[in-house]
């Protein structure tokens, strides 16, 4: 039996009461984090344009666009909401699965919940927890022991279609037959590549939106009786054989399914850039704060990283140290470290089209070199970071960080997530009214008590 059938059983049978307490709490943090990063990204380049397109297309007023308030077809609302939430690369991440689960599960569940109406907070939490678990397991199972970046896939988008189909199917109440068809229809659309990162293209932030649009469409097609491939995961032409030449781990895919939920292993980001940059920012911040190093006193900086990290975030150095655009800055070890040294922070304002011309950061970035240290290679966890700062008086300081802030072993609390949320909304070009922001935090904090999650969108899509 294809693993897809087991996941369908999971999506149709698991109840809120089956979720461990820590899964519920982790999911609520995901929800608050999603709204924060979405509101912060709601007017960013690319988001405004896709929003304008969706409004021009018109259609049935089924679901809401966050911040803007337009009512459009559910799949189109979800596309815009996912795009804005991924725009800053500040959304949650499963480091080992190399996956952004929230930006797929959350906008899908929200749009489908508005379409359906009357969805309780408990059902909403369950759908998100199951969707998070599904997409993370799909990533965890992919090419075990290998660094996925070298194969060119953007796994969030690639697996987002099937995941969104399943999440929407759960919310809409599809039976097992319709659910397996929905996932199969989602698979038929699956795509997503990493060339957008190499080229600094806006499609990086749009991939999850494309996936949730396709996934919700798949669920609605299945609801109408349209069929999709049944053996879409492990079949002879299923995704693991077609896209990964049969290289996958069945244990990682389905082991302890229904009792182990990967949502507890999702990290909330403290910095608005690629997760792989975070341990390097942590290391640089530790050095400059503990040793009171001023940017003007720095002679040189050496960044040591593993091969996978180097290929994605360290090269070519001339682009990473002098970003062509904000996407380059979000995926740059030199920029992240230089920002930490120059400003003793790594904030939203440091990864923008304006910020990449900041002379204080560029001056430090020009003193940085990046090297590969094979001893830092990892395939099963995020690769460690080592930063060496040499000052003009000849002193040298070194810091290595194995696991960055926000990982499950160094988690952000709900209070930390609220602080991040409030910082995010403070950076939004369209400011959510204070009363709405306060109510949104309160609703998420007691989400399992909410009778209809449309209350969330009533305050998050206020215009």
pLDDT tens digits, 318-371: 999 999 998 999 999 999 999 999 999 999 999 999 999 999 999 999 999 999
Please identify which residue in the block is written with the tokens 């309160």: 442
Given a contact cutoff of 8 angstroms between Cβ atoms, the answer to whether 400 and 385 are in contact is yes
Do residues 135 and 178 share a domain? yes
Range of the domain at 65: 3-270+411-460
Do residues 169 and 295 share a domain? no
Instruction: Look up the CATH number of the domain holding residue 186.
Output: 1.10.4100.10
Task: Report pLDDT digits (tens) over 390-412.
Answer: 999 999 999 999 999 999 989 99
Average pLDDT (126-145) is: 97
**In this structure, is residue 406 part of a structural domain?**
no
Do residues 263 and 279 share a domain? no
**C-alpha to C-alpha distance for 376 and 147, rounded to whole angstroms:** 13
Contacts of 302 by beta carbon, 8 Å cutoff, 6+ apart: 368, 369, 370, 371, 387, 388, 390
**C-alpha to C-alpha distance for 113 and 62, rounded to whole angstroms:** 10
CA dihedral 343, 344, 345, 346 (to 10 degrees): 60
Backbone φ, ψ for residue 388 (5° rounding): -120, 120
Do residues 236 and 316 share a domain? no
**In this structure, is residue 364 part of a structural domain?**
yes
Do residues 254 and 137 share a domain? yes
Rounded to the nearest angstrom, the gap between the alpha carbon of residue 280 and the centroid of all alpha carbons in its chain is 19
Please compute, for residue 292, the number of CA atoms within 13 A of its CA located in the half-sphere on the CB side: 0
Task: Report pLDDT digits (tens) over 447-458.
Answer: 999 999 999 999
Do residues 291 and 368 share a domain? yes
Domain end call among 356, 373, 401:
401
**C-alpha to C-alpha distance for 261 and 254, rounded to whole angstroms:** 11
**C-alpha to C-alpha distance for 321 and 317, rounded to whole angstroms:** 6
SS3 content of the chain, % helix, strand, coil (to 5): 60, 10, 35
Do residues 306 and 256 share a domain? no
Domain end call among 401, 430, 445:
401
Number of domains in the chain: 2
Backbone φ, ψ for residue 44 (5° rounding): -75, 160
Do residues 175 and 293 share a domain? no
Average pLDDT (421-444) is: 96
Q: Is the peptide bond before 271 cis (omega within 30 degrees of 0)?
A: no
pLDDT at 149 over 90: no
Do residues 432 and 446 share a domain? yes
Do residues 141 and 81 share a domain? yes
**In this structure, is residue 78 part of a structural domain?**
yes
Which pLDDT score, from 0 to 100, does residue 379 have? 76
**In this structure, is residue 13 part of a structural domain?**
yes
Do residues 144 and 229 share a domain? yes
Which pLDDT score, from 0 to 100, does residue 241 have? 98
Instruction: Look up the CATH number of the domain holding residue 363.
Output: 3.30.1330.120
Which pLDDT score, from 0 to 100, does residue 148 have? 85
Which pLDDT score, from 0 to 100, does residue 117 have? 97
Task: Report pLDDT digits (tens) over 293-323.
Answer: 999 999 999 999 999 999 999 999 999 999 9
Task: Report pLDDT digits (tens) over 19-41.
Answer: 999 999 999 999 999 999 999 99
| pLDDT band of 103, cuts 50, 70, 90 | very high
**In this structure, is residue 340 part of a structural domain?**
yes
Is the pTM higher than 0.85? The answer reads: yes
48 burial (CB, 10 Å; 0-12 / 13-18 / 19+) is middle
Q: Is 259 helix (H, G, I), strand (E, B) or coil?
A: coil
Which pLDDT score, from 0 to 100, does residue 382 have? 87
């Amino acid at each position: 039996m294809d693993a897809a059938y087991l996941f369908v059983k999971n999506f149709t049978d698991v109840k809120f009461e089956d979720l461990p307490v820590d899964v519920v709490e982790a999911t609520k943090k995901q929800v608050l984090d999603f709204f924060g990063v979405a509101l912060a990204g709601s007017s960013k380049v690319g988001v405004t344009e896709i929003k304008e397109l969706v409004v021009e297309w018109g259609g049935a007023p089924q679901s809401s666009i966050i911040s803007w308030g337009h009512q459009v077809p559910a799949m189109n609302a979800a596309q815009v909401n996912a795009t804005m939430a991924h725009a800053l690369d500040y959304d949650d991440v499963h480091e080992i699965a190399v996956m952004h689960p929230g930006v797929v599960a959350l906008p899908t569940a929200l749009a489908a919940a508005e379409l359906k109406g009357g969805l309780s907070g408990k059902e909403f939490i369950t759908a998100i927890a199951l969707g998070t678990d599904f997409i993370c397991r799909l990533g965890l199972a992919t090419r075990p022991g290998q660094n996925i970046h070298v194969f060119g896939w953007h796994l969030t988008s690639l697996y987002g279609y099937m995941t969104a189909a399943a999440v929407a199917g759960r919310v809409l109440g599809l039976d097992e037959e319709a659910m397996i068809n929905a996932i199969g229809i989602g698979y038929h659309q699956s795509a997503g590549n990493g060339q957008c990162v190499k080229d600094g293209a806006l499609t990086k932030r749009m991939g999850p939106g494309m996936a949730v649009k396709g996934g919700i469409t798949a669920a609605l097609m299945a609801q109408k009786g349209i069929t999709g491939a049944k053996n879409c995961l492990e079949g002879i032409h299923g995704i693991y054989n077609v896209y990964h030449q049969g290289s996958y781990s069945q244990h990682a895919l389905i082991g302890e399914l229904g009792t182990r939920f990967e949502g507890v292993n999702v990290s909330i980001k403290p910095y608005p850039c690629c997760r792989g940059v975070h341990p390097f920012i942590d290391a640089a911040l530790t050095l400059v704060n503990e040793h009171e190093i001023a940017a003007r006193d720095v002679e040189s900086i050496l960044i040591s990283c593993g091969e996978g990290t180097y290929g994605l975030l360290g090269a070519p150095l001339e682009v990473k140290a002098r970003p062509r655009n904000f996407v380059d800055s979000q995926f740059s070890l030199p920029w992240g470290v230089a920002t930490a040294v120059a400003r003793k922070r790594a904030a939203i304002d440091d990864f923008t089209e304006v910020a990449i011309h900041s002379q204080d950061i560029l001056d430090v970035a020009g003193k940085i070199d990046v090297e590969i240290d094979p001893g830092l290679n990892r395939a099963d966890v995020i690769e460690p970071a080592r930063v060496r700062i040499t000052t003009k008086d000849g002193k040298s300081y070194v810091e290595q960080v194995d696991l960055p802030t926000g990982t499950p072993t160094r988690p952000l609390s709900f209070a930390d997530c609220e602080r991040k949320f409030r910082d995010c909304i403070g950076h939004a070009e369209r400011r959510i009214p204070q009363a709405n922001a306060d109510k949104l935090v309160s609703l998420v904090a007691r989400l399992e008590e909410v009778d209809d999650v449309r209350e969330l969108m009533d305050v998050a899509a206020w215009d």
